[in-house]
């Protein structure tokens, strides 16, 4: 199990307690915490409270994908499991996930269900694919006006409550299981993505290789989303991940259109916020930094200085985003 931490000391105890309780008969769990140069004593806290957990200190904020890959390299189990530091595995979830993977090896990547503290559904465990149609809906405002509509907000996957087994294009990194052989076949997470977009890229690679990522609803996490971002920091980074995906994975004729639709959707939302005279700080920040995020990574790392301190890799993975889809 790999947990990527960035200033996650407040959340790690509950996360690691749930990981320690997840093992059962015949199910050994080795946990590695990769600390991305936290300044809040996260690494020391893990060593003190969970001496059986391996800690990898990167010495710098490598980003989510690179930190995950470093953590996976420090493990040797049959399966690779990613878990966010602000998530808690609910009882029986890991057993359900592994059992399903063993019974249905054709899927390759396995996710679960995210729930709020009151038990209600949080859709952030998975998303639909970013496509020219989904970006057209974003650019025209339809995905906001008709949120969770199957046709007009397609990345949301409609009103499905993630409560049935279902194949999906994107499983987010808050809870993700893969057999090690599949993980190695896919090459792990693409380190071209510093933060956001890496899980959509992984799902695309998997599906092109013939795997069928799937949600296993009996596997559940409580995702506290403690890694929140100061206003204005998250959206430009989300968009940088999406621009990177367009530039790297879309066919050449479609790349310019994809970037134009992303930009138009941001401009629409920033303009409406400006006209209303309130709110919309994230969209206004995204519009102001559009020349940077449109370039994608690695150049978009400049956003960290442009919009303030970046959120910690391994923190939030929530809509707007397949780790971020933008509405």
Q: What domains, with CATH codes, occur in the chain?
A: 2-223 (3.90.550.10), 234-307 (no CATH)
Angle at which helix 234-249 crosses helix 281-288, to 10 degrees, equals: 50
208: CB partners within 8 A, 6+ apart:
none
Tokens 């320690």 correspond to: 20
Tokens 């749930």 correspond to: 18
Query: By three-state DSSP, how is residue 33 classified?
Result: strand
- CA distance linking residue 134 with residue 129, whole number of Å: 8
Reported as type and span, the H/E element at residue 232 is none
Neighbours of 256 (CB within 10 A): 11
Report whether 117 contacts 222 (CB < 8 A).
Answer: yes
- CA distance linking residue 43 with residue 48, whole number of Å: 9
Flag whether the pTM goes above 0.85.
yes
Query: By three-state DSSP, how is residue 106 classified?
Result: coil
Q: Name which of 145, 205, 147 is nearest 325 in CA terms.
A: 147
Compute mean pLDDT per 10 residues along the chain, 327 residues long, and list them.
95 94 77 95 95 95 96 95 96 95 98 92 96 98 97 97 97 97 98 95 98 97 63 83 97 96 98 90 94 95 65 42 50
């Amino acid at each position: 199990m790999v947990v990527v931490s960035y200033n996650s000391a407040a959340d790690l105890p509950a996360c690691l307690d749930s990981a320690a309780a997840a093992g059962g008969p015949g199910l050994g769990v080795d946990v590695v915490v990769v600390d991305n140069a936290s300044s809040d004593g996260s690494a020391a806290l893990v060593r003190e409270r969970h001496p059986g957990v391996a800690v990898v200190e990167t010495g710098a904020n490598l980003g989510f994908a690179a930190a995950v890959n470093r953590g996976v390299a420090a493990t040797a189990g049959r399966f690779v499991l990613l878990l966010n530091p602000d998530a808690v595995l609910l009882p029986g979830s890991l057993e359900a996930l592994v059992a399903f993977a063993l019974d249905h090896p054709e899927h390759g990547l396995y996710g679960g269900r995210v729930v709020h503290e009151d038990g209600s559904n949080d859709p952030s465990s998975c998303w639909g694919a970013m496509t020219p149609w989904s970006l057209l809906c974003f650019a025209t405002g339809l995905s906001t006006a008709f949120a969770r509509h199957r046709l007009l907000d397609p990345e949301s996957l409609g009103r499905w409550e993630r409560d049935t087994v279902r194949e999906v294009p994107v499983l987010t990194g808050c809870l993700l299981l893969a057999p090690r052989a599949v993980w190695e076949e896919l090459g792990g997470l693409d380190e071209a993505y510093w933060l956001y977009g890496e899980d959509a890229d992984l799902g695309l690679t998997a599906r092109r290789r013939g795997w069928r990522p799937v949600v296993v609803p009996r596997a559940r996490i409580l995702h506290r989303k403690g890694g929140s971002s100061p206003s204005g920091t998250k959206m430009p980074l989300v968009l940088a991940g999406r621009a990177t995906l367009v530039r790297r994975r879309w066919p050449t004729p479609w790349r310019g259109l994809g970037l134009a639709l992303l930009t138009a959707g941001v401009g629409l939302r920033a303009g409406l916020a400006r006209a209303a005279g309130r709110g919309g700080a994230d969209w206004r920040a995204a519009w102001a930094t559009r020349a940077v995020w449109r370039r994608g990574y690695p150049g978009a790392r400049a956003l960290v200085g442009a919009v303030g301190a970046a959120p910690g890799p391994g923190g939030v993975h929530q809509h707007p985003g397949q780790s971020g889809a933008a509405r």
